[in-house]
Structure 1
Amino acid sequence: MKHHHFIIISLTIQGHINPTLQLAKNLSRAGVRCTFVTTVNGFSKLNNLPSIDGLFYASISDGNDDGTAKMDFSDYMKQLKRVGSENLKKLIDRYAGDGHPVTCLVYTFIWPWVAEVAREINLPSAFLVIQSATAFAIYHHLFSINNNGVYSSTNEINLSFPIKLPELPLLFRDDIPSFLLQNDPYSSFMIPVMREHIQNLEHDTNPRVLINTFNKLEEKSLKIIDKIGIYSIGPLIPSAFLDGIELEDKSFGCDLFEKSETYCQWLDSKLEGSVVYVAFGSIATVKEEQKEEVLQGLLESEMPFLWVIRSSKEDDKKKNDEIYGLNGKGMIVPWCSQMEVLFHKSIGCFVSHCGWNSTLESTIAGVPLIGVPQLADQFTNIKMVEEVWGTGVRARVEEEGGIVKREELKRCLGVLMGDGEKGNEIRRNVKKYRDLAMEAVKVGGSSHNNLNKFLESL
């Protein structure tokens, strides 16, 4: 195999770091030299980065190295492209001078201009999609010039519902990534970014898209987009939880938040399948009213629960401390190793925002989901979880206020934690997809083969 050197470039948000670092680890173990790159300011926040032969780290300036400049995200994106592209080219030149020429650029969601840099200097590139193939199929449908997509030449929001994609359920307003909607605060900069991604791929003579999914999970969605160089290479999950080849690979390798160390003993004291795990991700801020409804729903269900609530202020930490062990049922922690928790025998279900990483992780662990989506592609993910894969249920919000009430949470818990026919069917489904994921990443499995095909395409 050709001696490759990949630059894999990512934003320093936990949900972006986890899959990109895991891809870098997987490639390094396959003999590819990888350099994980982020901004100078972002790099300063990273700790406990994995130390693996062939895996290196670097940073480039985005013009805001100390993180103090205040600007809206649209202005930041323009600056990132202008300053970042020049500094990325300098980094590539430096590696060439050091005898380690770069052979491929891999980039994630807010870096569409990396494809332009690659074309300019005659390097292959690949877009690493860290959302689902279904979400990507929606973006392709809406932004493609070839398909005369709604957003192919405008930021004006003029969607009509339902959206129909071949062989998928009809998609309504509550089923698509939220930034595609008029009232979403992220639409003004995310619509241009996604259009740039799709149109860059359409301008490329040999486009490559790596997706953190596996064939048997999203077969129909992958078929929709199969003409644009798709490689499903997931789940991008630490090896110890999947193929077991690298037993020491038990974490993604970089937590941006401080973990509690007490939850494992607490989980050990609980019965198998008895604990409700609750976590709403690393980005969304959950309303206080919603927190209260979740708390009361959990307490009234009389099921033990482990709940991750990110704490940034001392008052928040004190408040969370007061809730620890409330009625002897619950434990609240500021952060945890989610894979470690989901694979614990005591976990019975996962109340989740349904970010794509969490959705995949719960599937790999064989844990059913209760979806409480907050933003972005989470609405699409729970649509697939409930209506296509049958691996969980969606908690319905009240029309006024958009809150999941305690009664609704208790209803969902009753389904997933009870012995009824629907709960049993969901548990069978999630275990089926867990086994299919394990098959996909084995030597000779679809994801293993697709990664090799991608390398051979370069």
Structure 2
Amino acid sequence: MKQHHFVIISLPAQGHINPTLQLAKNLSRAGTRCTFVTTVNGFRKLNNLPSIDGLFYASISDGNDDGAAKMDFGDYMKQLKRVGSENLKKLIDELAGDGHPVTCLVYTFLWAWVAEVAREINLPSAFLAIQSATAFAIYHHLFSINNNGVYSSTSEIELSFPIKLPELPLFSRGDIPSFLLQNDPYSSFMIPIMREHIQNVEHDPNPRVLINTFDKLEEKSLKILDKIGICSIGPLIPSAFLDGNELEDKSFGCDLFEKSETYCQWLDSKPEGSVVYVAFGSLAMVKEEQKEEVLQSLMESEMPFLWVIRSSKEDDKKKNDEIYGLNGKGMIVPWCSQMEVLFHKSIGCFVSHCGWNSTLESTVAGVPLIGVPQLSDQMTNIKMVEEVWGTGVRARVEEEGGIVKREELKRCLEVLMGDGEKGNEIRRNVKKYRDLAMEAVKVGGSSHNNLNEFLESL
């Protein structure tokens, strides 16, 4: 096999870094050279960079290297494209000058312009889709020129519902990625970016889309995308929790946040399957009213819980820096190793925002989900979790105020932590998909074979 050198590019956001860096680790272990790239300011914030033969790191300027400028995100994305494209070309030239010419660019969500750079310098490129195949199928349905998607040439059309895709459930307004809706604050710049992603793939005579999922989980969604060169290579999760080939690979690495250290001892003291784990991801800051409803549901349920609450400027300093108990019933931490927690025998269910990384991680750990989606593709993920895979339940939002009330959360907890028929069925389902995920990444499994086929195709 040809010796490849991949430049793999990610935004400096934890949910983007984790799967992207895991792919870089997997490719390095397969005998290729990988250079993981993010922005200068983002790179400075990374902790615990994995040290693996063949894996290297670099950064490019986005025009805001000191992080001082507070920009509208849409304006920032335009600047990133303008400044980043030139600096990426310079990096590629530097790597070639050092005797390590790049053979393929791999870019992630929001970096659609990298495909244009690749075409300009005659390099192959691949899009790493870090959301689900189902979300990608929705994007393809709406943005495809070949299929006359309603958003293929304009952003000014109101979508009609339900959206119907072959062999999948009907998708209502509350089931699709939120930024596809005209009233979403991110739609004005996200819709053009997603259009660019999909049409890049359609215009490429040899499209390559790597997607962080596995065949048996999203078989029907992958079938919809079969003609655009899609290749399932997931779950992109540290090896120690999957195939076990690299037992030292117990974390993604490149953490943006410092984790607490003493929660494992607390978990060790709890009975098997008794603890409720609560975490709403690295981006969305949950409303104070929603936090209070979650807290009261947990306290009233009298189940032990571990809750990750990220610090913000408004938080009390002591609560930011210390782990503290709540009448002995629970523990709140500012950050933790999610895989380490989900694989702990004491965890009984996961109250989650249902970001795609968290959804996959809970599946691999065999832990049922209670979904409290906040934004983006999270609505689509919980739709599939509840209605297709049967691996969790969605906590229903109160129409006025958009808050999930404590009574609804307690109902969900009783289903997943109780011994009723529905809870038992959900636990059986999630364990089934856990085993299928393990099979996919083993030698000869679908994701293992797909990654090798991708390498051979370059």
- Please tell me the TM-score bracket, short chain as reference: over 0.9
The structural deviation recorded for 1:157 is 3.9
1:397-421 Cα deviation digits (max 9, x unpaired): 1000011100000000000000000
1:183-215 Cα deviation digits (max 9, x unpaired): 211111110100000111111110000000000
Which sits farther off after the overlay, 81-90 or 378-387?
81-90
The structural deviation recorded for 1:312 is 3.1
The structural deviation recorded for 1:235 is 0.1
Instruction: Give the 3-state SS of the residue equivalent to 1:235 in structure 2.
Output: coil
Query: 1:45–1:296: structure 2 CA closer, same or farther, 3 Å change rule?
Result: same
Q: Distance in 1 between matches of 2:316 and 2:391?
A: 33
1:241-276 Cα deviation digits (max 9, x unpaired): 000000000000121112111100000000000000
The structural deviation recorded for 1:444 is 0.3
In the superposition, the TM-score normalised over structure 1's length comes to: 0.98
The structural deviation recorded for 1:321 is 8.0
In the alignment, is the contact (CA less than 8 A) between 2:323 and 2:333 conserved in 1?
no
The structural deviation recorded for 1:354 is 0.2
Q: Which runs of 5+ in 2 are unaligned?
A: none
1:146 aligns with 2:146: yes
Query: 1:265–1:165: structure 2 CA closer, same or farther, 3 Å change rule?
Result: same
Instruction: Give the 3-state SS of the residue equivalent to 1:328 in structure 2.
Output: coil
Instruction: Give the 3-state SS of the residue equivalent to 2:348 in structure 1.
Output: strand
Q: Distance in 1 between matches of 2:319 and 2:107?
A: 40
Q: Distance in 1 between matches of 2:376 and 2:429?
A: 25
In the alignment, is the contact (CA less than 8 A) between 2:259 and 2:334 conserved in 1?
yes
Q: Distance in 1 between matches of 2:318 and 2:400?
A: 31
Which sits farther off after the overlay, 77-86 or 167-176?
77-86
The structural deviation recorded for 1:97 is 1.5
Instruction: Give the 3-state SS of the residue equivalent to 2:276 in structure 1.
Output: strand
- Map of 1:346 onto structure 2: 346
Query: 1:323–1:121: structure 2 CA closer, same or farther, 3 Å change rule?
Result: closer
Instruction: Give the 3-state SS of the residue equivalent to 1:35 in structure 2.
Output: strand
In the alignment, is the contact (CA less than 8 A) between 1:385 and 1:391 conserved in 2?
yes
Which sits farther off after the overlay, 81-90 or 362-371?
81-90
In the alignment, is the contact (CA less than 8 A) between 2:260 and 2:323 conserved in 1?
no
Query: 1:4–1:183: structure 2 CA closer, same or farther, 3 Å change rule?
Result: same
In the alignment, is the contact (CA less than 8 A) between 2:306 and 2:332 conserved in 1?
yes
Q: Distance in 2 between matches of 1:325 and 1:287?
A: 21
Q: 1:91-106 residue pairs with structure 2 within 5 A?
A: 91-106=91-106
Instruction: Give the 3-state SS of the residue equivalent to 2:35 in structure 1.
Output: strand
The structural deviation recorded for 1:224 is 0.4
1:373-398 Cα deviation digits (max 9, x unpaired): 00000000000000000000000010
Q: Distance in 2 between matches of 1:286 and 1:179?
A: 18
The structural deviation recorded for 1:285 is 0.9
Which sits farther off after the overlay, 62-71 or 200-209?
62-71
The structural deviation recorded for 1:314 is 7.7
In the alignment, is the contact (CA less than 8 A) between 1:321 and 1:332 conserved in 2?
no
In the alignment, is the contact (CA less than 8 A) between 2:273 and 2:348 conserved in 1?
yes
The structural deviation recorded for 1:80 is 1.1
The structural deviation recorded for 1:320 is 6.7
Query: 1:315–1:96: structure 2 CA closer, same or farther, 3 Å change rule?
Result: closer
Query: 1:293–1:320: structure 2 CA closer, same or farther, 3 Å change rule?
Result: farther
The structural deviation recorded for 1:82 is 1.3
The structural deviation recorded for 1:327 is 2.5
In the alignment, is the contact (CA less than 8 A) between 2:177 and 2:377 conserved in 1?
yes
The structural deviation recorded for 1:318 is 2.8
Percent identity over the alignment is: 92
The structural deviation recorded for 1:155 is 1.5
The structural deviation recorded for 1:322 is 9.4
The structural deviation recorded for 1:69 is 2.2
In the superposition, the TM-score normalised over structure 2's length comes to: 0.98
Q: Distance in 1 between matches of 2:408 and 2:64?
A: 45
The structural deviation recorded for 1:96 is 1.3
Query: 1:314–1:374: structure 2 CA closer, same or farther, 3 Å change rule?
Result: closer
In the alignment, is the contact (CA less than 8 A) between 1:211 and 1:233 conserved in 2?
yes
Q: Which runs of 5+ in 1 are unaligned?
A: none
Which sits farther off after the overlay, 306-315 or 206-215?
306-315
The structural deviation recorded for 1:313 is 3.7
1:13-71 Cα deviation digits (max 9, x unpaired): 00000000000000000001000001111111112110100000001111111112233
Q: Distance in 2 between matches of 1:234 and 1:94?
A: 31
Instruction: Give the 3-state SS of the residue equivalent to 2:228 in structure 1.
Output: coil
In the alignment, is the contact (CA less than 8 A) between 1:390 and 1:429 conserved in 2?
yes
- Map of 1:33 onto structure 2: 33
The structural deviation recorded for 1:108 is 0.5
Query: 1:315–1:172: structure 2 CA closer, same or farther, 3 Å change rule?
Result: closer
The structural deviation recorded for 1:303 is 0.2
In the alignment, is the contact (CA less than 8 A) between 2:310 and 2:320 conserved in 1?
no
In the alignment, is the contact (CA less than 8 A) between 1:213 and 1:232 conserved in 2?
yes
In the alignment, is the contact (CA less than 8 A) between 1:157 and 1:180 conserved in 2?
no
In the alignment, is the contact (CA less than 8 A) between 1:320 and 1:332 conserved in 2?
no
1:337-385 Cα deviation digits (max 9, x unpaired): 0000000000000000000000000000000000000000000000000
Task: Give me the CA root mean square deviation.
Answer: 1.2
- Map of 2:56 onto structure 1: 56
1:298-349 Cα deviation digits (max 9, x unpaired): 0000100000000134843435789932221110000000000000000000
1:125-159 Cα deviation digits (max 9, x unpaired): 00000000000000000001111111111121410
In the alignment, is the contact (CA less than 8 A) between 1:24 and 1:36 conserved in 2?
yes
